[in-house]
Structure 1
């Protein structure tokens, strides 16, 4: 006697997907408060600006800091030791990501971003207080390392949280443009730090800078941190996170949180994409902003003031171009813009380094500006691309971990590794080869991405600017559904 086999059932679609496709209503669409969006973008960009104010100051004072804390070493060794302390902060960033990422997914993005802001300010301020090597000996570089580690720990939760905060507040159609303000803040903070150091270099004598002048920029971190903390405490939590928490409270049994290894295993594909994109983004970033000032001065022999001014002009030009890149990524898509930048690194890194290595001021500037233009393909795109890789419930955790692993291994170490490669090989094109390698890895990563421009974030409904836009979206979806239901 045969037993009739049950008819195979199609797997059920997730409730949210089914609702989005067939039952989407006005209540399912987030209408973003424009004033709150502007405040959120400003507060997030301010934190990034403060982080990069410190990076700009540290990079532009690298030669001076080397003399203060590593006086026994020669010029190149001092530079390597200084960048070693710079890189050490990046090695601890994943630990900060492991702490602040899950915390941001548990208690909220806004609270964690307030914590990271004040910790960054304390770390930067403390650097200005450290006595020189001549005063306290080996304790001086050890205290510098400790302050850098505190900065690294706090910044481990900063970028991932800030990018998540802006992405979750933004509308779907303008997420790229709004996210680009995060990198606008980066360039602005770096430029302010660089401008301050440049002004001081032109006013103070080299001995005054060595004795006490270098401390002044680090002391400015205290009032900046207090102001940033005030701004961030005034913000509300993102709509996407609020909706996520409401859903969790509505369920009788909340979904258990994933451990680190479970997270890495379940989302390893997205993690690898995140690491690849961040590698591309940050190798280009740190090569231009952190290594090039010292390369121009210590390797090519340009005057310190000339080197500082060149990089500052390049940063200034990049600021509006970053916003333009963010705008175009909303129109053209994330993938074409990032791919274009990766191809640019592969094709133009060697020509740019040849121009820079010529020593001619105009050719040096041309090489730097081309590298800066290429970098805007990443700076205007990544703040919207990276958060879209992950769903709301794990977005902060996954982005903080993936971002900081990549920055620690490939971004923050770029100045140190490049300085070592140039010093050991005596090949001035080593920075170009390093950039080309990053371009190849980035291009492969972009090939695996799905396009996320003008689409809702994973785990969230559509986000629009006003009710009229929401009604228009519902009308389009209804027309699309009717068209699909018509017989072919």
Structure 2
């Protein structure tokens, strides 16, 4: 019997591979709210301390620098204020890379502990009359601990909210971080005003000035509790699960920042404009009104409190506008407002009546909204996820150290040396011009995914639409 020929099996048809479904993050609004609440409270704590120190600058000068007198005493107090900013870049260099390597949550908890402990310690310091030169030395040491911890605070907090928020609402949710700033400043100003109105000068110098600093202890414990309850951001969780990230060796600062120089330059320019205008209005103005223009201390503080209340009512609305019209438009609008209104606002303040003082401060506050409402959503979007905390913390704090923290001291010295009490306006205009150029040069990031992360949306329907789309928009 002839062998039968082996039947060849017909090859199976090759079917096209199913289209790959894109990764899309669906945010949980409850988780977003918890993240925003915990990070905003930490920011409020940070700026409560800085506000208290700025508003008590004259009193602190008398307690810790009694050998000086008049303007020199105020300048010495403001120099101690600026000392915290000298070490902020070091804090950014330490905490930033750690936040990218071991997680945002752990570093934010650590910075909260350090910040609240150092602030609480200031309230316990003996005066110059008790221990001499050791008193101002300990004050500067506590300020430097605060500055070091703050070096990891803002960059981490802004990163945390940005990585939790959906792309189309990042401006709105990010504005809550700066709402925390305003809450901290307002609480500081209101508390200091209440103490100055309710206590005698001797009582304030003896023990009253300590109360705002001692409050930092319990506030810090609350903030720490809230932060420890949070989960890591979705963007970082995805990054941490990546084998390449897990296997990556520890990088030097130079390696971490490689390829980020243009983004860092833009970040530093925007931060310089933001911080100079912010510190002139919220930190220096009370000293300017009392020391330079001769107003009663409570007049300036109450005016600042009312202006900040107005800003708190508007900041989230302007943040939402940046989601709709873009970050660049809002930032450029704020810069132009400072260029046009700084001098007229200070001329109004110099009129001397309370309505004129309030009107001038309010004009500057409304201009500041262009920065304060959008900065915390603009800056994290400049950097990729795997290097965001480090790049943002370092560039932010270098800029703040050079320009922001020195603002009260520099402006006070300029007014003192030139005799021109419009110097604060000219200084704000200079940096507003820098901010205008930086905002014009940056790429629009509103509504786009963060660099190195998948799109983030609010609902499963939005996610499904993006998964089925031929192309997902990404940040350039």
**TM class by smaller structure:** over 0.9
1:462 paired with 2:455, answer yes
Q: How does 1:79-228 map to 2 (within 5 A)?
A: 79-228=74-223
1:37 match: 32
What is residue 313 of structure 2 aligned with on the other side? 320
SS at match of 2:452: coil
Does residue 65 (structure 1) correspond to residue 60 (structure 2)? The answer is yes
Post-superposition CA distance 1:215-254 (Å, at most 9, x none): 011100110011111110000000000101111x2x4983
The structure whose Rg is larger is 2
Which residue of the partner structure matches residue 21 of structure 2?
Answer: 25
- Counterpart in the other structure of 1:347: 340
Query: Secondary structure of the residue that 2:66 maps to in structure 1?
Result: coil
Q: Which runs of 5+ in 2 are unaligned?
A: 1-17
Cα contact 2:118–2:143 (8 A) shared by 1: yes
- Map of 1:14 onto structure 2: none
**What is residue 273 of structure 1 aligned with on the other side?**
266
SS of 2:447 mapped into structure 1? coil
Q: Deviations over 1:367-392 (max 9, x none)?
A: 10010001111111000000000000
8 Å contact kept, 1:321–1:373: no
Structure 1 residues 72-116: Cα deviation after superposition (integer angstroms, max 9, x where no partner): 111111111111001010010000000100000010000000000
Q: Out of 229, 243, 255, which is 1:234 matched to? A: 229
Residue number in structure 2 paired with 1:294: 287
- Describe the superposition over 1:369-427 as per-residue Cα deviations: whole angstroms up to 9, x where unpaired: 01000111111100000000000000000000000000000001000000000011110
Scaled by the length of structure 2, what TM-score is found? 0.93
Contact 2:87-2:147 at 8 Å conserved across structures: yes
Alignment coverage as a number of residue pairs: 456
CA distance, structure 2, for counterparts of residue 401 and residue 427 of structure 1: 35
Residue 426 of structure 1 aligns with which residue? 419
Which residue pairs with 1:444 in the alignment?
437
Instruction: Answer yes or no: is 1:260 the counterpart of 2:240.
Output: no
Q: What is the root-mean-square deviation in Å for CA atoms of aligned residues?
A: 1.6
Distance 1:245 1:140, change over 3 A: same
- Report if the CA contact (8 A) 1:69-1:132 is conserved: yes
Go from structure 1 to structure 2 and tell me whether the alpha carbon gap of 1:146 and 1:23 turns closer, same or farther (over 3 Å shift).
farther
Residue by residue over 1:435-458, the C-alpha shift from the partner in whole angstroms, topping out at 9 and shown as x without a partner, is: 011011111111210000000000
1:358 Cα deviation (Å)?
A: 2.1
Q: State the secondary structure of the residue aligned to 1:144.
A: helix
Matched, 1:243 2:243: no
Alpha-carbon shift at residue 345 of structure 1 (Å): 1.1
**Aligned-partner SS, 1:427:** coil
- Shift, 1:480, TM fit: 9.3
CA distance in 2, matches of 1:457, 1:186: 24
- Equivalent position SS for 1:266: coil
Maintained 8 Å contact 2:196/2:298: yes
Please say if 1:415 is aligned against 2:411: no
Mapped partners of 1:257, 1:282: distance in 2: 32
Distance 2:175 2:465 in 1: 26
